[in-house]
Structure formats: C-alpha cells, structure tokens
Amino acid sequence: MPLPRHRFAVNLSMLFTELPLLERPAAAAAAGFRAVEMWWPWPATPTPEARELDALRGALRDAGTQLVCLNFYAGRLPGPDRGALSLPGAESGRFRANVGVAADFAASLGCTALNALYGNRVAATDAGAQDALALENLVLAARAAGRVGATLLIEALNPVESPAYPITGSARAVELAGRVNEASGLGNARFLMDLYHVAMAGEDPAAAISAYAAAHTGHVQLADAPGRGEPGTGTLDVPVLLKRLEQSGYDGWVGLEYRPSGPSGGAFGWLDGTR
C-alpha cells in the first residue's frame, strides 16, 4: 500500500543536492512533498547576509514548501564536524552567534523545530569542561527556540561513523534533553530520533520507538541501514517501523535524510511500494 507523502519531509541537505540550493524546494514539491528540512545551509558562516536568507526564504515560499526542521550552525557538515556547541573557543562562539539568526529565520517560515548538534570531543580538552559549555549553549538555544515557539532537538549519532561524538544512543540523548529542560525551566528540549543512527548504534529501532517516541521525541528522521540509503537498500523494515511510530502515538514529521542511490527524483519509489 502506498505511504502518504504528507507525513514526510525531504531533507534538502541530503536529497536533490545535484541542484543548487535555491532550486531544491521546487524539486521536492514536484516530487509530491509539501514539507522539507535541512542542515544549516551555510556551513562556512553562522551569520549569512540578509540577501542569502531572503533568497532561501523566497525559494521555499515560491515552491509552496513548509520548512519543518532546521539545524543550528554545526561547522563543516557534511565534513569532519559534528556540531559546534561543545567546542571551546571560536566554534562555540560561532554557534552562539548563529542561535538568534537561525531562530528568527525558522520563525519567519513557521518552522518549529531546531536541531542542535553537540560536537565532537576535543583532544587534550577536559570532557567535563566541554559538557559544561555544551549545557550552557544548549540552554541558550532552548531560550531562543522558546522565544519563537519552537522545540529544541537533541540528536544522538552513532559511534561507528562518529566515534568522537559523545551523544550516542537514544537514552543518552533523552537524558541530555531532560538536563536542558531542568536547567532552562522551559521544557522545550526533545529527542530527535534518527532511526538510521539508532540502528547503527546497535539498538533495536522498534524498541527505541516503543520506549521514547510518545513521551520524549520531537522529530523523527530515517534512512536504511547500513549505507544510509533509501528504504529498501539496507536491512531495516521501514514500513513496519513507520507503523510502530503511528501505533506509539507519534504524529509529527518524519524526515527523509538519506543518500539516494541515483537521481533524487527517483529515490521515493519505496513510498509507492515500487522498490
């Protein structure tokens, strides 16, 4: 049975990357999607010029696509970085400079989910000092998100591909969100459940859904595992997991954050049951 596309948001940092950024919203719309998500689109700068923000805002609106999830500045992504907020010095400064810019951009488009990637451990830097800096910056991000009526998302990556990233495993991310909520007093930090990272971390994605989807999850993303391709290219039974999400009571967006095996326009056949 075909899966309804209105449940899904196309990640424009992973799909349609053969096109310039400003052409991707229209391509997603042409493929039948009304919602999109993205990493911070300007990895070289946390504070792009107003004309760049305006151009992307216009492209999203002209395509009739709703931005539903946006990353804060996270360094070179894709690339060696996995976030900036826990890195002492210049990078955490860039994150702080970005917080208001990203929150305001999201608010201007009705986007109510902002994802904050933690950042890798830094050699010769005390882990406790990094964690204290991270909590300080996550509270700052929670307050910026709260100001515009948004949820702050905290994502767990997987230790296979991100061995220096300390937030791996669903329980660790859920626990950190709780610490942020306690420190901020706002209660708007939630878990970003990426089913690909859950599986690659050695967890049972179905069990993670049962444990965390209803009470702790603010956004879901998926790719097949291993390989991070579209569903049908790995070993995950994605339709069954989506059914489990529905049964859990999760009624939010599901971001399609995978690498297409060919042109992006052909990467959605699994939704129609044609893979």
Q: Are 95 and 52 in contact (CB under 8 A)?
A: no
Residues in the chain: 275
Q: What integer pLDDT is reported at residue 274 of this predicted model?
A: 47
**Ranges of the chain whose pLDDT falls below 50:** 274-275
Please write the tens of the pLDDT for every residue from 192-210. 999 999 999 999 999 999 9
pLDDT of residue 275: 44
Structure confidence at residue 273 (pLDDT): 74
Output the pLDDT for position 4: 63
Given 37, 91, 155, 203, the catalytic residue: 155
pLDDT in tens, 117-142: 999 999 989 999 999 999 999 999 99
Q: Known catalytic residue: 257?
A: yes
What's the pTM? 0.96
Q: What is the DSSP string of 30-95?
A: HTT-SEEEES-S-TT-SS--HHHHHHHHHHHHHHTPEEEEEEPP-SSTTTT--BSTTSTTHHHHHH
